[in-house]
Amino acid sequence: MMESKEFAMELFDTLCRRRQMQSDHINREELREIWSQITDNSFDSRLQIFFDMVDKDADGHITEAEVKEIIMLSASANKLARLKEQAEEYAALIMEELDPEGLGYIELWQLETLLLQKDTYVNYSQALSYTSQALSQNLAGLRHKSPIRKMSSKLSYYLEDNWKRLWVLALWIGIMAGLFIWKFIQYRNRYVFSVMGYCVTIAKGAAETLKLNMALILLPVCRNTITWLRNTRAARALPFDDNINFHKTIAAAIVVGVILHAGNHLACDFPRLIDSSDQTYAPLRKYFGETKPTYLALVRGVEGVTGVIMVVCMLIAFTLATRWFRRSLVKLPKPFDKLTGFNAFWYSHHLFIIVYISLVIHGERLYLILDWYKRTTWMYLAVPVGLYVGERTLRFFRSGSYSVRILKVAIYPGNVLTLQMSKPPTFRYKSGQYMFVQCPDVSPFEWYMPLNCK
């Protein structure tokens, strides 16, 4: 979709072209006249402006190419990717319907016919109020559509625009469900179930989903890999531009997994183990020792300590990553105001270094698993962690590759920052792409939020 500044220039050129104004500036009276038309909310006025914007040569005719441009603009404005892809086909169909004589163009009244769903050949010399009346009648007709038909239509459009997201989410949820059920059944058939009951099966099922999600959550933030994948055929089926949204969705699933895993251990199966009889406990001595452990001993063990460390670090990082803290919407008194803003979010996210170290240790010291090859935490994490560490290392060394000079800095209304910088000789980009900027004098580690390239 066109940027706001470009759209404003296009609108200005259109209104000037209609008035045959050749100058780059206008006087007060001309501004008043233009402003009056822009703020006129009537359908006829807006239709006229829209027609003039597409009718570049101001001859009162719209060609098939210009009809295609209308469809493209509408599709972009409403984020209808499928409609945009089929713009040429729809333009041909519209011309076939509205231009049966094959003149190669349509006029304003025919465009109104298209938008208002009126009979094709209606005399446009009717009073302008008739247009509003016809529009109201057509809208009223739409209101009487069957609710089922409306829902079906909305669902169809939704699926067309979101099928990539939906199939990825369905696959992800399906894998999580499969892992949870597999581990649940596995522990349901072990002796430990007779002691700890469904507490242990739910805790272990949740743990398996946590392994998966702690691995997956790193992939959407591997920026170089995502950028490369956008240019491959995989982009046809995978929504790489939704990487951060997927990252957040996985984080939410991790929160649920932690609650189920830690909650069932601390509040359910630990107490059941401690309260079990000596006879019931006997088969579990190979896991917990000859003497039945106390609750404090279980929490103070390696598994308990690493678990608590992970929960505390996650709680801090997740809290400071919320919109209220990240965007400083929460106003805290000094010195606690340092806990809000992007810097707090950025640095607190690095607590996950501690989380991943603790997770590996936690996974290697499990109570109920003795064989090393059944401790699979490291298997889940090896590739994603290696990829992410490689990307961060590459980012660190590459950060010194491009040096620039600041040519101009400006802040526009809406708290919009503009930086004009010299372009390094080997740096290539396309307008509309974004980049991250590092300012070493401020911090050698911080990368500032994406800036659009012009």
Q: What is the DSSP string of 40-60?
A: ---HHHHHHHHHHHH-TT-SS
Give yes or no: residues 201 and 259 share one domain: yes
Query: What is the residue whose two structure tokens read 């570049």?
Result: 56
Which residues make Cβ contacts (< 8 Å) with residue 4, sequence separation at least 6? none
| Same domain flag for 283 and 418 | no
* CB 377 within 8 Å of CB 314: no
Residue listed under structure tokens 């989903």: 209
Does 91 fall in a domain?
yes
Give the pLDDT band (50/70/90) at residue 121.
Answer: very low
Question: What is the total count of domains within the chain?
Answer: 3
Average pLDDT taken over every residue of the chain: 80
Any domain includes 230: yes
Model confidence at 358, in pLDDT bands (50, 70, 90)? very high
E-strand ranges in 86-219 read 105-106
Cα-based distances in Å from 77 to 192, 278, 328: 59, 70, 31
Taking each helix axis from N to C terminus, what angle separates 198-216 and 147-188, rounded to the nearest 10 degrees? 110
Any idea what the CATH number is for the domain that residue 56 is in?
1.10.238.10
Residues 140 and 89 in one domain: yes
What average pLDDT score do residues 416-444 get?
73
Q: Is residue 8 part of a domain?
A: no
pLDDT number for residue 92: 77
Lowest average pLDDT, out of 17-21, 267-271, 401-405, 432-436, goes to 17-21
Q: Is 267 helix (H, G, I), strand (E, B) or coil?
A: helix
Are 102 and 124 part of one and the same domain?
A: yes
CA atoms of 150 and 163, how far apart (whole Å): 19
The reply to whether 140 and 189 lie within a common domain is no
- Shared domain for 135 and 171, answered yes or no, is no
The residue among 79 and 238 whose pLDDT is bigger is 238
The answer as to whether 100 is a domain residue is: yes
Q: In the numeric block, which tokens belong to residue 433? A: 């792409």
Specify the pLDDT at position 131: 41
Question: What pLDDT is attached to residue 443?
Answer: 67
Domain match, 81 and 211 both: no
Residue 138, pLDDT score = 44
Average pLDDT over residues 137-163: 69
pLDDT on residue 17: 67
Domain that holds residue 375: 167-300+368-398
Tell which residue, 158, 56, 148, 66, has the closest CA to residue 111: 66
pLDDT at residue number 118: 46
- Range in 38-52, 70-84, 303-317, 365-379 with the lowest mean pLDDT: 70-84
Query: Side chain identity at 3, as an amino acid letter?
Result: E
Parallel/antiparallel/unpaired status of strands 434-437 and 448-452:
antiparallel
The winner for highest mean pLDDT among 38-47, 91-100, 309-318, 401-410 is 309-318
Question: How many degrees, rounded to 5, is the angle at CA 90 between CA 87 and CA 96?
Answer: 140
Average the pLDDT over 109-117 and give the result: 65
Q: Are residues 179 and 265 in the same domain?
A: yes
Q: Are residues 242 and 280 in the same domain?
A: yes
| 52-61, 237-246, 265-274, 410-419: least confident range | 52-61
Whether 213 has a pLDDT exceeding 50, the answer reads yes
In a domain, 21, yes or no: no
- Same domain assignment for residues 415 and 393: no
**Cis omega (within 30 of 0) for bond into 271:** no
Q: What is the mean pLDDT of residues 405-411?
A: 83
Long-range contacts formed by 173-181: CB under 8 A, 24+ apart: 175/212, 176/209, 176/212, 176/213, 176/253, 179/205, 179/208, 179/209, 179/212, 180/205, 180/206, 180/208, 180/209, 181/205
Separation between Cα atoms, residue 298 and residue 310, nearest integer Å? 16
- Note the pLDDT tens digit of each residue in 285-323: 998 988 899 999 999 999 999 999 999 999 999 999 998
pLDDT at 43: 66
Same domain, 187 and 113: no
Above 70 in pLDDT, residue 397? Answer: yes
In a domain, 119, yes or no: yes
Residue 273 backbone dihedrals phi, psi, to 5 degrees: -65, -45
277 within domain boundaries: yes
The vertex-116 CA angle with 113 and 120, nearest 5°, equals 25
**Domain boundary, last residue among 113, 144, 175:** 144
145 pLDDT band (50/70/90 cuts)?
A: low
Within a domain: residue 157? no
Are residues 289 and 425 part of one domain?
no
Are the C-beta atoms of 454 and 432 separated by less than 8 Å?
A: no
Task: Return the pLDDT at 330.
Answer: 83
Q: Rounded to the nearest 5°, which phi and psi values hold at 39?
A: -85, 0
- Reply yes or no on whether the pLDDT at 120 is more than 80: no
- Per-residue model confidence (pLDDT) at position 80: 62
Range with the lowest mean pLDDT among 74-78, 185-189, 398-402?
74-78
Name which of 24-28, 116-120, 296-300 the model is least confident about. 116-120
Which residue is associated with the tokens 């010194």? Answer: 400
